[in-house]
Structure 1
């Protein structure tokens, strides 16, 4: 019962895009807090890293809990991940940037599953046999 509820919740939103965005935000945010031997720069340069990481984490959570906002969240995640490449220790040593771009792309491209229309999908004036029947796993409407 719990597993089926989890699957239904996960499939009803851009889960993987949000997860990659959260991981990218955490990676970019935590890296400036690492010991001095690991960091490339210390001090004021760490502030944009923490802010960009926090914003990317919030955008990933937004995609999960408000799937209608996914296009904006995906676009902003990709934009911030690209900016992190310059502003934040090479975007978390490239790992954070790559995860952010992947997550933003997955959020932007995700489409909710569309249930079949009641009463058939034939247009007015057409017979149902003339309408091609296909199954699109992304739920795109013809």
Structure 2
């Protein structure tokens, strides 16, 4: 542009999307929820064999599938309802520990270890406190009035 000003580049939609994603992720126990979902999916998927093998396994595979589903739901609740993080964290640790005994050594130990770590991360997460807006120091502060 001859003799004119160059317009400022507008923020790209990609950059805006990335900032929104980071804000969403930081506002909840994201990594603990992800670990719980991965551990639950792993515990749930191991007993899901072909139908012929599953019929031979019988009722023993049902607790594995149920415990895996509970862990996935707890991980998702940590993401989408972070106010229930304490309950979700405790239940995730309890189910992951129970899976060690009831479900193929807790998904061959991987599901139990990742589930206990994820539940601990969910339970330990705390939301950031909003920053307090302080009055500018240029304005004098008046002492409180005394009641007579």
SS of the equivalent of 2:96 reads helix
| 1:84 paired residue number | 99
TM-score (normalised: structure 2): 0.75
Would you identify which runs of 4 or more consecutive aligned residues in structure 1 move more than 3 Å?
none
| Equivalent-residue separation in structure 1 for 2:23 and 2:49 (angstroms) | 38
Report how far residue 35 of structure 1 moved.
5.3
Q: Deviations over 1:27-83 (max 9, x none)?
A: 0000001359x99x8221100000000000000000000001001100000000000
Q: Which residue of the other structure, out of 24, 40, 46, is the alignment partner of 1:9?
A: 24
Matched, 1:93 2:108: yes
SS of the equivalent of 2:122 reads helix
Larger Rg: 2
Q: Which residue of the other structure, out of 71, 82, 90, is the alignment partner of 1:67?
A: 82
* Counterpart mapping for 1:1-142 below 5 A: 1-34=16-49, 42-119=57-134
| Equivalent-residue separation in structure 1 for 2:115 and 2:76 (angstroms) | 13
SS of the equivalent of 2:47 reads helix
Q: Deviations over 1:62-109 (max 9, x none)?
A: 000000100110000000000000000100000000110010000000
Report how far residue 119 of structure 1 moved.
4.0
SS of the equivalent of 2:133 reads coil
| Equivalent-residue separation in structure 2 for 1:42 and 1:101 (angstroms) | 27
TM-score (normalised: structure 1): 0.78
After superposition, the CA RMSD in angstroms is 1.9
